[in-house]
Structure 1
Amino acid sequence: MTDAATPPSLKDLAGAGFRIGCLGFGGPAGQIALMHRVFVEEKRWISEAEYLHALNYCMLLPGPEAQQLATYAGWRLRGVAGGIIAGLLFVVPGALIVFALTWLYAAWGTLPLVAALFYGVKAAVIGFIAEALVKVGRRALKGPQDIALALAAFLALFLFQLPFPLVIAAAAAIGIARSLSLPPLPAAPSPAPAARPPARRALSAAAGWGAVWLAPLAAAFLLLGPDHVLTRVGFFFSKLAVLTFGGAYTVLAYLQQQAVDAEGWLTAPQMIDGLGLAETTPGPLVLVNQFVGFMAGWQAEHGGLMLAAAAALMASWCTFAPSFVWIFAGAPFSENLRRSPLAAGALQAVTAAVFGIIAKVALVFAAAILFQASLKLALPGGGLVTLPDIARPDFLAIGIAAAATIALIRFRTNIVLVVAGCALAGLASLWL
């Protein structure tokens, strides 16, 4: 199973997992590279082939792929207990930091000094999104068909305001159809496939871990009712965990549609502030979900710290608990899935659509951050599209965002240094 003669102890695995959780800055790409350095290069607990196989499988799953990869690695090394330890420790350090910073933000975010710091952080977010566009574009846009898919996804969300799950499902269907239209590849010699794992065990794991995932949501529904903020938060983030492919910036598109526009739990600028917090801290970027949950509870009727803490915990649990279902029930079957041309075709099409989704997020956030006002354009079929008022640019925000973009893409500057520099630059807004 591993290069080591014996697998690591749970204590050693916990130590490595805690280290990764504390040092996992830089988004999924940085976290995946960090796990490779620790598990493959330093500890030699997992071989290169095993690691790449696990990564390929996790890329096919909805939700946070880096946390799923940590869970998969722990499961490969020490079974279910190892998967729980590695998966939780990947999230918990960053989640505690984000919770504390979110509390400070909610309580004192309107103070001029704090607001100025977040002004700079919000401008830095544009740089992060631009970097994500570059990275996704390099692996997603491999031909005219992929470019057309990206453009269609952008227009579907921004102009026609179609539901996010429909866009992802349509992209996956197009990818599968595209795979079916290709001539079959010549068979290559390969080792005999491993024995198929028992389906009963997989179903048992799916049912058991699915029950663990949904238990808090069921309790909120039964005790508080379907309209309580905890129930709505749990349902929304459970749905989000199943429907979002393509990483944290894809999640933001759905958050914009639902948490901001439909539910009204927070404003678009507040969500950008939350992304800035998630970017600055270790752990997965989808810890922005915890920020959204906190703000939903904080600003709800009869809200406050206790309800905000409960809503933040509900949002985090419903975001990350599904990973245990996908790994513990599906990982034994992952080899067959990895070899499937249909799965590969669906993944490529969804990845192309993700480029268009991130572009939509970039335009919406640019309108909110880089310009002092926005315009609402009525569509012929109903609905409104938000566009920046180009006659009222915010030159300081544009300068900070441009500097962040150049630092991240051209010079590959440490992400924490970029955020800190932009936050300090934001202080200039106090005197302008």
Structure 2
Amino acid sequence: MEDTRLEKPGFKEALRFWIKLGWISFGGTAGHIAIMHDFLVGQKKWMSNSRFFHALSICMLLPGPEAQQLAIYIGWQLHGKKGGLAAGILFVIPSVLILLILSVIYVSYGSLPWIYAMFNGLKPAVIAIIIIALFKVGQKSLRGLLHYLIAGLAFICIFFFNISLLLIIAGSIAIAIVIQYLKPDLLHGKSKIKSEELQEEKGYYINSLSVEPDHDFKIRTFIKQLSIFLLLWLIPIGLFYFIAGEFIFWKQLTLFFTQAAFMTIGGSYTVLPYVAQFAVAKLAWLSKMQMVDGFALAETTPGPLIIVVGFVGFMAGFNHFQGSLLMGSLALLVTVFYTFLPCFLFIFVGGPLIGKSHGNETIGGVLKLVTAAVVGVILNLTLFLGKDVIFPGGVTLQHLDLIALAWVAVSLFLSLKFELNVVYLILLSLLFGLIRYYIG
């Protein structure tokens, strides 16, 4: 078969996107998926739709933030290890810097109304971004009645019964296995669809025919990667042992967030309750109200919501060292380092397995149902966040925020009709929030 793929994108061009993504990736996982899918699949055709969602589905089964792991995987696919490192590191650096600044402001001056007003102006635009993501993801991933049923079932489970994302994914996998055993044709679809999809794949740089950068799983490579990970893990805690005082605190901080990174599966929404319970109730690093404030601060930053652990680390260091901004800042950086370090290990070690599993019909069928369930989860996120933005005082007509609703409509219009760049939409929305604050 003739290979008509696009030429390999230059590393500098990809680097510019990873830098931009770190600053504009608002809206949680759904927002991250929307931006990456629109640019990498829709605009640049660097990765086909099937490869994108196959990788996303597997990343959702791994511990840690799935959107960052997806970025690492795509960066690794495009430019090897350096591409994966660049994508993963640049994905979180902007949110770390912004959260550090906001944390210092929080403990020094309390909440600044105009800062929150700016990001309140951004929230309607984020809702618009998520709505567009819902439409695009649904259009690409819902390919039959079964997929629509799974998406609807996932939405019902999470919206009405508050069932965790992890259980929804596990349920989708279980349903897929049963269908594979009873009626496999229903899971895989007809050969005509497969043929059409294969033809479409040929227009992308990374497609179903692509070979992984390191396509063979080798024990020697695994041991080398694991050794590098362990060395990176030991360096900071070793320095604290020999240089810093209060080693017990730093050891506790390190072990807790390493454990959180490895033991919590299902993304930010499973990590955060675990962190909140232990950090507040058992370790007493911060108060319950400070934890709530931390969620609010994290929501105003780009990047994954799990970045709120940085605020937890900041408050732990700040409170433990009697109000030291320096120790609080250092604790924030240590927390982020140990929370996100395992993500690189998971992808670099498991990346070849992700690629090899793409051609497997059974795994592919199972993961397509997982992706369909994700559509239902994104719909729930759209309504969950949209409700608080458009009806801030409760879902009644008297609490309807017409200005926020209008800005959602304006954002949709600018994005769909004029294809306004997300960066400009975000800047415009921040200005809108500031103007609204001073006028009203």
Q: Same fold (TM over 0.5)?
A: yes
Residues 33 and 140 of structure 1: CA distance in aligned 2, closer, same or farther (over 3 Å): closer
8 Å CA contact 2:314, 2:332 repeated in 1 = no
Alignment map for 1:67-106 (pairs within 5 Å)? 67-75=72-80, 83=81, 85-93=82-90, 95-106=92-103
- Identity percentage of aligned residues: 19
**What CA distance in whole angstroms lies between the structure 1 residues aligned with 2:331 and 2:92?**
13
SS at match of 1:401: helix
Q: Cα deviation per residue 1:56-79 (whole Å; 9 max; x = unaligned)?
A: 76334312312211023333xxxx
| Counterpart position of 2:306 | 289
Provide TM-score, normalisation by structure 2: 0.68
8 Å CA contact 1:126, 1:366 repeated in 2 = yes
- How far the C-alpha of 1:232 sits from its partner, in A, is 4.2
8 Å CA contact 2:147, 2:369 repeated in 1 = yes
**What CA distance in whole angstroms lies between the structure 2 residues aligned with 1:216 and 1:354?**
38
- How far the C-alpha of 1:294 sits from its partner, in A, is 2.4
Provide TM-score, normalisation by structure 1: 0.69
| Counterpart position of 1:351 | 371
Residues 164 and 201 of structure 1: CA distance in aligned 2, closer, same or farther (over 3 Å): same
| Counterpart position of 1:23 | 20
Residues 204 and 155 of structure 1: CA distance in aligned 2, closer, same or farther (over 3 Å): same
Residues 197 and 111 of structure 1: CA distance in aligned 2, closer, same or farther (over 3 Å): closer
- How far the C-alpha of 1:153 sits from its partner, in A, is 1.9
**What CA distance in whole angstroms lies between the structure 1 residues aligned with 2:388 and 2:253?**
26
**What CA distance in whole angstroms lies between the structure 2 residues aligned with 1:92 and 1:198?**
24
- How far the C-alpha of 1:344 sits from its partner, in A, is 0.7
SS at match of 2:161: coil
Structure 1 unaligned blocks of 5 or more:
42-47, 76-82, 245-250, 279-284, 375-387
**What CA distance in whole angstroms lies between the structure 2 residues aligned with 1:165 and 1:218?**
32
Note if 1:400 corresponds to 2:402. Answer: no
Selected match of 2:349 from 329, 347, 352: 329
Q: Cα deviation per residue 1:31-63 (whole Å; 9 max; x = unaligned)?
A: 46766899x99xxxxxx79x8897576334312
Residues 118 and 53 of structure 1: CA distance in aligned 2, closer, same or farther (over 3 Å): closer
| Counterpart position of 1:383 | none
SS at match of 1:372: coil
**What CA distance in whole angstroms lies between the structure 1 residues aligned with 2:72 and 2:38?**
13
8 Å CA contact 1:133, 1:355 repeated in 2 = yes
Alignment map for 1:22-421 (pairs within 5 Å)? 22-24=19-21, 27-28=32-33, 30-31=35-36, 55=52, 58-62=55-59, 63=66, 64=68, 65-75=70-80, 83=81, 85-93=82-90, 95-108=92-105, 110-180=111-181, 181-183=183-185, 197=216, 200-201=219-220, 203-204=222-223, 207-208=226-227, 211=230, 224=248, 231-240=255-264, 243-244=265-266, 251=267, 253-254=269-270, 271=295, 274-278=298-302, 285-286=303-304, 288-290=305-307, 292-300=308-316, 301-302=319-320, 305-306=325-326, 308-310=328-330, 312-314=332-334, 316-317=336-337, 320-374=340-394, 388-421=395-428
- How far the C-alpha of 1:337 sits from its partner, in A, is 1.1
Structure 2 unaligned blocks of 5 or more:
26-31, 60-65, 196-207, 241-245, 281-287
Q: Cα deviation per residue 1:252-305 (whole Å; 9 max; x = unaligned)?
A: 544675567996586678646634531xxxxxx42x432x12222344444764
8 Å CA contact 2:130, 2:382 repeated in 1 = yes
- How far the C-alpha of 1:335 sits from its partner, in A, is 4.8
**What CA distance in whole angstroms lies between the structure 2 residues aligned with 1:61 and 1:318?**
22
| Counterpart position of 1:431 | 439
- How far the C-alpha of 1:312 sits from its partner, in A, is 4.2
- How far the C-alpha of 1:165 sits from its partner, in A, is 1.6
Paired amino acid for 1:98? S
Between Structure 1 and Structure 2, how many residues are aligned? Answer: 377
Q: Cα deviation per residue 1:127-164 (whole Å; 9 max; x = unaligned)?
A: 22222211221123223322222222223223322333
Aligned residues: CA RMSD? 4.5
Q: Cα deviation per residue 1:155-211 (whole Å; 9 max; x = unaligned)?
A: 3223322333222111122223333421488999x99x9999465346535744664
- How far the C-alpha of 1:114 sits from its partner, in A, is 1.7
SS at match of 1:373: coil
Residues 353 and 314 of structure 1: CA distance in aligned 2, closer, same or farther (over 3 Å): farther
| Counterpart position of 2:285 | none
Paired amino acid for 2:408? A
